[in-house]
């Protein structure tokens, strides 16, 4: 993997979001429609969603509102009329906007449906009409911010559409973990300045929230003995991930940068290397290496989990990147870093996703904790994977098995989960 490829992967996997990404896309599509029809009075809003997108948005809090409701997210996006904000559309919400939601919903007929699409997990189609007889149809597909069609009164509006996924992660596929490790070891991070800036910003934002809730968990409160105890250290790390993740899941106004489509993964992926760098007082170069290792590890895991099913991709990717980071900090060699990822996956392959909600904050933070513990066990040379079951000696094969479990074996189980919730 060269720098150009690394920059391309970065571009396709780092996105600014406000609140849960899945609820953000609901507000985004409504905001586009309302902006296009801004000189008319909205009469109806019909939203069709893929069942995977529905599952991960129906129970999460709407930013600024503090409670769930897809109709409320649509109403808020309609009020904001700011499509330039994209997935961070709720960033500019005010108390005045919130107070207008119920009144707006009393005047607009809102219909929300969902269904299974073959080979499409992220699909959202909005049809908005006005009392004046105008209408707009918008389709978002494959990626949360990928607008593929906007039609107003029969006329296609190209200015709102993205280029056909150019520069996205699928443009290049990471073939093996050695690619990631080799790239980190070369220490040439030209063009990745934005990644390091965002990681620092996300970490400081997490620290601000921890300061408000449990300041005793800030990294400077770690004693020397606690720094040498992986269990204590992982508990402090858990707090730095859980607190900001919970804030966005309950619907507070809180901006994060998502990794591979997930805001919680963005927190887990970027806060973990920053926290470890802070705790162990690493140099600037060591910090950058750790951030790069964490980021590309998460992308590699999510790359293989190409279908949204009942497995928690955010948890798997966070745990793997946490295991890799902690092993690397402990001066583990290449094989030990791979073994740390392998051991984490050996204990968590069945990590289930039952819809986005507040408890996701605990899932992603527990995953980070368990990743640290897995790395600790490997670097202490107390355990090694035996290669039986889904977890193989070759970590790349283990990750591909995770992908097959997710993409093929459990593909049809998603509907059952939706029925249960």
129 and 205, same domain (yes or no): no
- Domain termination site, one of 98, 126, 160: 160
CA atoms 81, 85, 86, 89: torsion sign? negative
64 and 77 in contact (C-beta within 8 Å)?
A: no
Residue 367: closest CA among 310, 324, 421, 404: 324
- Domain termination site, one of 108, 128, 160: 160
List the domain range (segments joined by +) for residue 301.
Answer: 173-420
113 and 38 in contact (C-beta within 8 Å)?
A: no
Q: For residue 140, is it within any domain? A: yes
| Upper half-sphere CA count for residue 326 (Cβ side, 13 Å) | 32
Residue 213 — pLDDT band, cuts 50, 70, 90?
A: very high
Residue 307 — pLDDT band, cuts 50, 70, 90?
A: low
Which pLDDT score, from 0 to 100, does residue 170 have? 46
Residue 313: closest CA among 299, 293, 328: 299
- SS3 of residue 122 by DSSP: coil
Give 305 or 132, the one with higher predicted confidence.
Answer: 132
Q: For residue 12, is it within any domain? A: no
Mean pLDDT, residues 4-9: 87
Mean pLDDT, residues 66-75: 90
- Domain termination site, one of 160, 184, 200: 160
Mean pLDDT, residues 40-67: 89
182 and 135, same domain (yes or no): no
Q: Can you say how many angstroms the Cα of residue 97 is from the centroid of all Cα atoms in its chain?
A: 26
Query: Which residues 6+ apart lie within 8 Å of 333 measured at CB?
Result: none
Q: For residue 100, is it within any domain? A: yes
120 and 40, same domain (yes or no): yes
| Upper half-sphere CA count for residue 258 (Cβ side, 13 Å) | 25
345 and 399 in contact (C-beta within 8 Å)?
A: yes
Structure tokens of 153?
A: 């009164």
Alpha-carbon distance 328 to 325, whole Å?
Answer: 5
208 and 319, same domain (yes or no): yes
Residue 389 — pLDDT band, cuts 50, 70, 90?
A: confident
**Average predicted confidence (pLDDT) for the chain:** 89
Q: Calculate what percentage of the chain has a pLDDT beyond 90.
A: 55
Q: For residue 5, is it within any domain? A: no
140 and 124 in contact (C-beta within 8 Å)?
A: yes
1 and 186 in contact (C-beta within 8 Å)?
A: no
Which pLDDT score, from 0 to 100, does residue 171 have? 56
Which pLDDT score, from 0 to 100, does residue 311 have? 82
B/e letters for 183-192, b = 16+ CB within 10 Å, e = fewer, are bbeeeebeeb
Give 165 or 365, the one with higher predicted confidence.
Answer: 365
Mean pLDDT, residues 219-223: 93
Spatial strand order of the sheet with 155-156 comes to 109-115, 42-50, 123-130, 135-141, 147-152, 155-156
256 and 307, same domain (yes or no): yes
User: Would you say residue 164 has pLDDT above 70?
Assistant: no
Mean pLDDT, residues 140-155: 89
98 and 177, same domain (yes or no): no
pLDDT tens for residues 104-134? 999 999 999 998 887 777 899 999 999 999 9
298 and 321 in contact (C-beta within 8 Å)?
A: yes
371 and 322 in contact (C-beta within 8 Å)?
A: yes
27 and 89 in contact (C-beta within 8 Å)?
A: yes
Q: For residue 15, is it within any domain? A: no
């Amino acid at each position: 993997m060269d720098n150009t490829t690394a920059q391309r992967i970065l571009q396709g996997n780092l996105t600014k979001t406000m609140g849960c990404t899945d609820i953000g896309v609901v507000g985004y599509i409504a905001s586009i429609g309302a902006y296009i029809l801004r000189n008319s009075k909205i009469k109806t809003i019909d939203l069709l969603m893929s069942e995977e997108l529905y599952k991960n948005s129906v129970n999460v809090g709407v930013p600024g509102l503090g409670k769930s409701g897809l109709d409320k997210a649509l109403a808020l996006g309609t009020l904001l009329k700011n499509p330039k904000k994209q997935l961070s559309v709720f960033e500019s919400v005010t108390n005045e906007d919130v107070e207008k939601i119920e009144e707006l919903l009393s005047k607009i007929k809102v219909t929300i449906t969902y269904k299974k699409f073959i080979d499409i997990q992220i699909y959202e189609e909005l049809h908005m009409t006005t009392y004046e007889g105008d209408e707009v149809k918008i389709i978002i597909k494959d990626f949360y911010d990928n607008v593929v069609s906007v039609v107003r009164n029969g006329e296609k509006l190209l200015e709102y559409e993205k280029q056909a996924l150019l520069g996205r992660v699928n443009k290049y596929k990471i073939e093996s973990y050695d690619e990631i490790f080799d790239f980190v070891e070369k220490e040439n991070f030209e063009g990745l300045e934005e990644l390091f800036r965002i990681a620092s910003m996300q970490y400081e934002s997490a620290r601000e929230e921890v300061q408000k809730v449990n300041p005793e968990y800030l990294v400077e409160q770690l004693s020397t003995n606690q720094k040498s105890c992986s269990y204590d250290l992982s508990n402090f790390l858990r707090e730095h991930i859980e607190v900001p993740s919970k804030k966005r899941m309950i619907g507070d106004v809180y901006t994060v940068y998502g990794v591979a489509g997930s805001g919680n993964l963005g927190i887990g992926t970027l806060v973990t290397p920053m926290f470890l760098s802070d705790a162990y007082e690493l140099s600037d170069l060591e910090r950058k290496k750790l951030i790069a290792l964490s980021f590309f590890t998460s992308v590699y895991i999510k790359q293989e989990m190409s279908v949204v099913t009942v497995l928690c991709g955010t948890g798997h990717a966070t745990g793997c990147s946490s295991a890799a980071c902690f092993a690397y900090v402990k001066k583990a060699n290449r094989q030990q870093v791979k073994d740390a990822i392998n051991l984490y996956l050996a204990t968590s392959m069945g990590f289930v996703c039952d819809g986005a909600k507040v408890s996701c904050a605990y899932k992603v933070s527990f995953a980070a904790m368990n990743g640290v513990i897995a790395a600790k066990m490997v670097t202490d040379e107390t355990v090694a994977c035996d290669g039986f079951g889904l977890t193989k000696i070759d970590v790349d094969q283990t990750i591909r098995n995770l992908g097959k479990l997710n993409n093929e074996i459990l593909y049809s189980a998603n509907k059952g989960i939706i029925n249960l919730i």
